Structure 1
Amino acid sequence: MVHILPAAFEALRSPCLVGGPWKRFPFAGLVAMLAAVATLIVDTVATGYFHRTNAKRAAAVTDEPAHDDPESAPDGHHGHAHGMSMLASPDNGDELVRHRVISQVLELGVVVHSLIIGMSLGASDFPSTVRPLVPALTFHQLFEGIGLGGCIVQAKFRLKSVVAMGLLFSLTTPAGIGVGIAISSVYDESSPTALVVQGLLEAAAAGILVYMALVDILAEDFSKPRVQSRARLQLALNVSLLLGAGLMSLLAVWA
């Protein structure tokens, strides 16, 4: 909200954009809104699909004890325990699927943003611009990596998927820097095409990240019974949230 979305508005309202509809309508806000709504649709559709799939599997398995020999489950204890285990598994499966959807969509938004800032850094020709950007972007990527890593851990992916997602996040910014260096001789950051592409991508990344942060991460974590029942934990989480938001906002001074 502090340094992604304003950058999108700045790019799409640049004086270098002569003609066209860019100055007559807030396209950055529109794209951010559409990206957030699209993320909501993908989030709910994917979660609903896997929820229905897990529910059907659980229903099919819980019907199996009815065909077993009654003598194999005296007093009905075995059948009851089996049914309870199957009823508990859909909830665990739904929660796992939820975390996986969240981590994948969050990685998409982070990767888009990381690619943009990497290209901007690589295409910069002035050392006075690059020097303050490097430490600021280092801390920026550190904070994003911590948040994304926490989501990936909760999703309990297989080792190959964890390594792939970690490498994708780690290599996106360096790859963007490499692309920026390669095109620095012909790239003009004030050209209309560059401004439009950068502005639209920044706005889309902002919409995705704002939705993911507020709806899928903060709202879900803060509404858990464990948090709601402990006042000290609530206070610690709110203080941590404000501190993190302040630190990320402070990076906008340099980034």
Structure 2
Amino acid sequence: MASRGPPLSKLLLCLVFLFAFDFLIPRVLAVVESCGAEQADECVNKKKALPLKIIAIVSILLTSMIGVCLPLVTRSVPVLSPQRSLFVIVKSFAAGIILATGFMHVLPDSFDMLTSSCLNDNPWHKFPFTGFVAMLSAIATLMVDSLTTSFYSKKQSPGVVLPERAGAAAAGDQEMGAAGGGHSHFHSHGRHHHGSKLEVVGTQLLRYRVIAMVLEVGIIVHSVVIGLSLGASNNTCTIKGLVAALCFHQMFEGMGLGGCILQAEYEFIKKAAMAFFFSITTPFGIALGIALSTTYKDDSPRALITEGLLNACSAGLLIYMALVDLLAADFMGPKLQGNIRLQIKSYAAVLLGAGGMSLMAKWA
């Protein structure tokens, strides 16, 4: 009986943690009830902003779909298969993008929101809530990551490999049997060797599936917050720059997630579902922001606290996933440890991805 990887119900633990701040902390800690009237600005025009938001929904949806689906079709291209060195370099580039997203986009936004002049000095300006919540989020991600992997590793029967590896197991046994020249001792030894190896491969595949699921949760939370802020804004000058920047942002972030989904080797339905949810989250957030634009103000104390805490949660999750599950797992693994030249190329890819996404922070 093969393991199917962590079900979506287990990921509700992540969502409960991330959204708990939305309901608990804003009601416990005091905030300023009003932040003053919106200053007159020639860029603020609700009628002109609406068409730009519609354009944003369509363009971001398309670029998100392209970004997350692009790695999923590379299996048909031999040079880009997960077993090749080029895939490792591309994955390092995507991991650099996700790392920069956490450090350069999400974390600074949270700092700005939770230190806004619209909030009371006590407690918001007296304690670094952004760093504290990001730290707790990283620890909680470690707990979910570790416990989920441990639970499903124990649930999986000894010696049973995932169905995706069954063909490789049969081929391996046949090769070892031929190499043994028909001698039962060598054939038996070969089967034991390949069985142990495939158990390790099955455990690694399970890790890939946990990583893909948890990473998607963090990206989805961040994407909804971005979309909600854009949808609620009526500043045409801000929206114009954000649309272009977010298209690139979502495309490259989708490439990182798509690479993780590819390594997880899900069946087509799960791949399609994960790609779909990633693609629609930012457009959904924009549509929700448009619908709530009459009552939701992105500079209100409640909105600042809610978005700031959610961004801090997302930042901690993304930074942990990028450093621990993506970069450290690959760079400390046997493939890169045994190839210094590939290590250097991968480091260059990380710096290129992180640098490009950091540069994008100027506009988004």
Same fold at TM > 0.5: yes
Deviation at 1:169, TM superposition (A): 0.2
Equivalence for 1:2 = 104
Pick from 49, 52, 62: which aligns with 2:154? 52
Distance of 1:79 and 1:136 partners within structure 2: 58
Letter in 1 for 2:159: A
Taking only aligned residues, the RMSD between alpha carbons, in angstroms, comes to 1.7
How far apart are the structure 2 equivalents of 1:75 and 1:199? 65
Change (3 A) 1:230 1:57: closer
Extract unaligned runs of 5+ from structure 1.
Answer: 60-72
TM-superposed deviation, 1:20: 4.7
Select the residue among 341, 344, 348 that pairs with 1:235.
Answer: 344
Answering whether residue 304 of structure 2 is matched by residue 203 of structure 1, we say: no
Give the Cα–Cα distance (whole angstroms) in 1 for the partners of residues 114 and 360 of structure 2: 22
Structure 2 distance, partners of 1:50, 1:183, is: 41
The one of 199, 203, 208 aligned to 1:90: 199
2:29 alignment partner in structure 1:
none
Deviates more, 1:158-167 or 1:78-87: 78-87
1:37 to 132, 139, 158: 139
The corresponding residue for 2:217 is 108
Give the TM-score taking structure 1 as reference length.
Answer: 0.89
Deviations 1:176-223 (A, max 9, x none): 010011111221122111110010000000000000000000111112
Judge conservation of contact 1:8–1:199 (CA < 8 Å) in 2. Answer: yes
Deviation of 1:246 after TM superposition, in Å, equals 0.8
Q: Which residue is equivalent to 1:194?
A: 303
Shift in Å at residue 92 of structure 1? 1.1
1:78 CA displacement: 4.8
Aligned to 1:11: 113
Higher mean C-alpha displacement, 229-238 vs 3-12: 229-238
Q: Is the 8 A contact 1:50 1:94 kept in 2?
A: no
- Find the counterpart in structure 2 of residue 66 from structure 1: none
Q: Number of aligned pairs?
A: 241
Distance 1:107 1:198 in 2: 18
TM-score (ref. length: structure 2): 0.63
| Uncovered stretches (5+) of structure 2, i.e. residues with no partner | 1-102, 161-181
1:85 to partner: Cα distance: 3.4
- What is the match of residue 124 of structure 1? 233
**What is the Cα deviation at residue 6 of structure 1?**
1.2
1:132-153 C-alpha deviation (Å, 9 max, x unpaired): 1011111111111000000000
What SS class does the counterpart of residue 127 from structure 2 fall into?
Answer: coil
Q: Identity of counterpart residues, as a percentage?
A: 49
Deviation at residue 51 of structure 1 after TM alignment = 2.7
Q: CA deviation at 1:243?
A: 1.0
Q: Deviations over 1:68-97 (max 9, x none)?
A: xxxxx9744554343333322210110000
Paired letter, 1:26: P
Residues 21-75 of structure 1 deviation map (CA, whole Å, 9 limit, x = unaligned): 2221111111100000000011111122233334x4229xxxxxxxxxxxxx974
What secondary structure does 1:22 align onto? Answer: helix
Q: Please give the secondary structure, in 1, of the residue aligned with 2:158.
A: helix
Residues 1:90 and 1:75: Cα distance change in structure 2 (over 3 Å):
closer
Matched residue, 2:334: 225
Mapped to 1, the partners of 2:343 and 2:106 lie a distance apart of: 28
